[in-house]
């Protein structure tokens, strides 16, 4: 009779199998190194939207215009960092503090209520994987993000992200997004416009500036408050930016930023597949 394997041996075998699977998967990952010198021709999300449009029998003409980071408003860069990944330049492919906070929130609410993806992880999804929600995709996303952080500089990762992020139906990248949403270049965005652009990112195709949702209003105000609190927006500009923001959101100008903000709605974005 063959001897039974101990629990320890079974665990070791399982770990060895996982290590072998990860090693094999690592070898099949896309190589991000060419992106250090030239932009991508297309992305997984663009091609996914193309297939969705074809299946629905409607035309698909993506708007995309690549611009270097220097031609994107520093206000938008700061707003996106404040909204999506405030510690981007201080961590690797993952933000373990954000992951811990998200896990604690999910545990408290007994649901998946908060994400913790870094900009690098979001770029990996946009470029190579699409918006499918699965553990397999998240695993590949993690490995690709690790490889990106190894092979690309942080500023290049940020530039790539800002140039491929979805900012509306068929609208990709900061330049196309700024022109589609506000009729200006990415370099010409005001502080308030940048706050709105950053606030859209979790669900850009659901955002209608003619009829902004409570969710979008809440997020845009939060982004602007973060910019003021971090010193990115000076005291002299803060109230003017807030007044402009309220006009964009279709609201009368509010009291100064120092007053407690109202409860404008839920933290969760409207349903979307991003």
In this predicted model, what pLDDT tens digit does every residue of 239-256 receive, in sequence order?
999 999 999 999 766 555
Lowest-pLDDT range of 7-21, 93-107, 198-212, 238-252: 7-21
pLDDT score at 105:
64
Residues 6+ apart with CB under 8 A from 212: 220, 248, 249, 250
**Is residue 263 very low, low, confident or very high in pLDDT (cuts 50, 70, 90)?**
very low
Q: What is the mean pLDDT of residues 257-264?
A: 41
SS3 57: coil
Q: Which residues are paired to 171 by β-bridges?
A: 63, 168
pLDDT score at 125:
96
**Is residue 99 very low, low, confident or very high in pLDDT (cuts 50, 70, 90)?**
confident
Cα 272 to its chain centre, rounded Å, is: 14
pLDDT score at 261:
41
Residue 218: pLDDT over 70: yes
* CA neighbor of 178 nearest in space, from 274, 272, 75, 271: 75
Q: From CA 218, how far away is CA 249, in angstroms rounded?
A: 10
pLDDT score at 19:
60
Which CATH number does 29-248 carry? 1.10.3810.10
Burial classification of residue 15, based on how many CB atoms lie within 10 Å of its CB (0-12 exposed, 13-18 middle, 19 or more buried)? exposed
Residue 26: pLDDT over 70: no
Q: What is the mean pLDDT of residues 7-33?
A: 70
Give the C-alpha distances (Å, rounded to integers) separating 91 from 75, 87, 119, 150, 196.
22, 6, 11, 12, 26
- Region at 170 (left for phi over 0; alpha for psi -120 to 50; beta for the rest): left
Q: From CA 150, how far away is CA 92, in angstroms rounded?
A: 9
* CA neighbor of 206 nearest in space, from 119, 125, 273, 118: 273
Q: From CA 89, how far away is CA 125, in angstroms rounded?
A: 19
pLDDT score at 259:
40
Lowest-pLDDT range of 28-32, 92-96, 204-208: 92-96
Sequence spans of domains, the chain: 29-248
Residue-wise pLDDT for 126-180, tens only, equals 999 999 888 888 899 999 999 999 999 999 999 999 999 999 999 999 999 999 9
pLDDT score at 266:
42
Q: pTM for this one?
A: 0.82
Residues 6+ apart with CB under 8 A from 237: 191
């Amino acid at each position: 009779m063959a001897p039974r394997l101990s629990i320890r041996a079974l665990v070791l075998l399982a770990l060895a199998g996982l290590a072998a699977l990860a090693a094999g998967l690592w070898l099949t990952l896309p190589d991000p190194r060419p992106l250090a010198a030239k932009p991508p021709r297309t992305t997984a999300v663009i091609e996914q939207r193309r297939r969705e449009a074809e299946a629905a029998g409607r035309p698909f003409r993506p708007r995309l215009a690549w611009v270097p980071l220097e031609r994107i408003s520093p206000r938008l860069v700061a707003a996106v960092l404040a909204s999506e990944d405030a510690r981007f330049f201080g961590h690797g492919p993952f933000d373990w503090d954000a992951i811990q906070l998200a896990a604690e929130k999910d545990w408290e609410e007994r649901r998946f209520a908060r994400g913790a993806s870094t900009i690098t992880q979001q770029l990996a999804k946009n470029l190579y994987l699409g918006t499918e929600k699965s553990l397999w995709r998240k695993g590949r996303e993690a490995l690709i993000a690790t490889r990106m952080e190894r092979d690309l500089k942080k500023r290049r990762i940020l530039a790539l992200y800002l140039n491929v992020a979805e900012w509306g139906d068929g609208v990709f990248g900061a330049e196309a997004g700024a022109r589609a949403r506000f009729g200006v270049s990415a370099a010409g965005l005001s502080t308030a416009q940048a706050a709105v652009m950053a606030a859209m990112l979790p669900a850009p195709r659901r955002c209608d500036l003619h009829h902004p949702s409570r969710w979008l209003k809440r997020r845009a105000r939060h982004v602007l408050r973060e910019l003021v609190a971090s010193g990115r927006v000076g005291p002299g500009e803060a109230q003017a930016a807030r007044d402009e923001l309220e006009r964009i959101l279709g609201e009368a100008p509010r009291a100064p930023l120092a007053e407690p903000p109202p409860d404008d709605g839920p933290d969760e974005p409207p349903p979307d597949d991003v």
